[in-house]
Homo-oligomer: A and B are copies of this chain.
Amino acid sequence: MSLAVEIAGVRLKNPLIAASGTFGYGVEYEGLLDLSLLGGIVSKGLYMEPRDGCPTPRIVETPSGLLNAIGLQGVGAPAFVRDVLPRLARYDTAVFVNVCGDTVEEYAEVARVLAGAPGVAGLEINISCPNVKKGGMAFGGDPRMTHEVVAAVRKATRLPVIPKLSPNVADVALFARVCEEAGADAVSCINTLLGLVVDVEARRPKLAFGTGGLSGPAIRPVAVRMAWQAARAVKIPVIGIGGVSSAQDALEFLIVGCRAVQIGTANFVEPGVYARVLAGLEDYLGRHGLDDVNAVVGTLRFPGEGAEAGSEG
């Protein structure tokens, strides 16, 4: 039975990837689980410089979800290359780096720093970062800015470029197409939904920053819908993200057309989630008489339509 998939020329031993910002730099889980179990890891978001992040509270629970405003606390790209990458080299898993920037130039610069480093499988472009030149509006909310960032990173590196789509848009398929046109090798879909939780006693937002990003099981139906829309819109692979914590959840994304799936918030809930999801995937394939996980990709039968284009795998 084969669980291997290929994303943008990178072979993953299985379709499960740890999502950015929810798995640290990977090394935090060293003692707790075997990182080689994972198809891949996405580092937390990296700018050039180290960042302190937002004041606390940074996270608040919501019904079946999590709202966070961490503020991209991190060590910066150069320190990551120096201190973290060598430690990850021991594991048989693909390491993707989540690239951030205050400006288009910074994205390209981070990409260049990483392009030169050994052990990076690809770059995930976090276009949900606030654009400091445009008053903090997210790059990923505007098709033109999205194109500009992706094209700039594309120029800066030969590594696979994987923009991560924002769900805070009306038409995610449009943004997927913009990324494809700008030279992306794949897209990740989705980042967190913009949300607000109010502390009614204090009449302030519960998060120190104000608004935050909503993740977890609560958003899964929205994420699956968007991944489905994106997968229908582009030829490049789509990596599904949003509320995955079981094999069934992962299968939803695969069936609507994703080649791989990221697990985010569930890492916090259950450090052992990968082994359980992998076992569930194998069980599912076995029960359905399939010997390759790619055989389920894009097999959704939508009412009134034929089956979606099958996998090439």
- Cα distance A220–B197 in the bound complex, in angstroms: 8
C-beta contact mask, A46-68 vs B, less than 8 Å → 1, else 0? Answer: 00000000000000001111010
Mark out the residues of chain A between 55 and 90 whose CB falls within 8 Å of any chain B CB in the assembled complex.
62-65, 67
Say yes or no: is A217 at the interface (Cβ < 8 Å to chain B).
yes
Indicate if the CB atoms of B251 and A221 lie closer than 8 Å: no
Taking A63-B64, A63-B220, A220-B62 as contacts, is the C-beta distance between A252 and B198 under 8 angstroms?
yes
| Min C-beta distance of A103 to chain B, whole Å | 22
Say yes or no: is A32 at the interface (Cβ < 8 Å to chain B).
no
- Contact with A251, one of B195, B200, B248 (Cβ below 8 angstroms): B200
Interface size class on chain A is: 35 or more
Indicate if the CB atoms of B64 and A218 lie closer than 8 Å: yes
Indicate if the CB atoms of B194 and A67 lie closer than 8 Å: no
Interface centre among A193, A216, A221, A248 (most CB of B within 10 A): A221
Q: Who on chain B is nearest to A288 by CB?
A: B201
C-beta contact mask, A117-147 vs B, less than 8 Å → 1, else 0? Answer: 0000000000000000000000001000000
Taking A203-B296, A299-B203, A300-B203 as contacts, is the C-beta distance between A224 and B208 under 8 angstroms?
no
Indicate if the CB atoms of A63 and B303 lie closer than 8 Å: no
Indicate if the CB atoms of A63 and B243 lie closer than 8 Å: yes
Indicate if the CB atoms of B194 and A225 lie closer than 8 Å: yes
| Min C-beta distance of A228 to chain B, whole Å | 6
Say yes or no: is A302 at the interface (Cβ < 8 Å to chain B).
yes
Mark out the residues of chain A between 177 and 210 whose CB falls within 8 Å of any chain B CB in the assembled complex.
193-198, 200, 202-205, 208-210
- Cα distance A299–B251 in the bound complex, in angstroms: 44
Indicate if the CB atoms of A256 and B196 lie closer than 8 Å: yes
Say yes or no: is A168 at the interface (Cβ < 8 Å to chain B).
yes
- Cα distance A205–B195 in the bound complex, in angstroms: 27
- Contact with A198, one of B62, B205, B255 (Cβ below 8 angstroms): B255
- Contact with A203, one of B65, B211, B220, B301 (Cβ below 8 angstroms): B301
| Min C-beta distance of A242 to chain B, whole Å | 10
- Cα distance A219–B216 in the bound complex, in angstroms: 12
Taking A301-B204, A303-B210 as contacts, is the C-beta distance between A193 and B222 under 8 angstroms?
yes
Indicate if the CB atoms of A196 and B218 lie closer than 8 Å: no
Say yes or no: is A169 at the interface (Cβ < 8 Å to chain B).
yes
Q: B residues within 8 A CB of A198?
A: 224, 251-252, 255-256, 300
C-beta contact mask, A256-291 vs B, less than 8 Å → 1, else 0? Answer: 100000000000000000000000000010000000
C-beta contact mask, A208-250 vs B, less than 8 Å → 1, else 0? Answer: 1111101011111110110010000000000000010000100
Q: B residues within 8 A CB of A202?
A: 301
Indicate if the CB atoms of A221 and B62 lie closer than 8 Å: yes
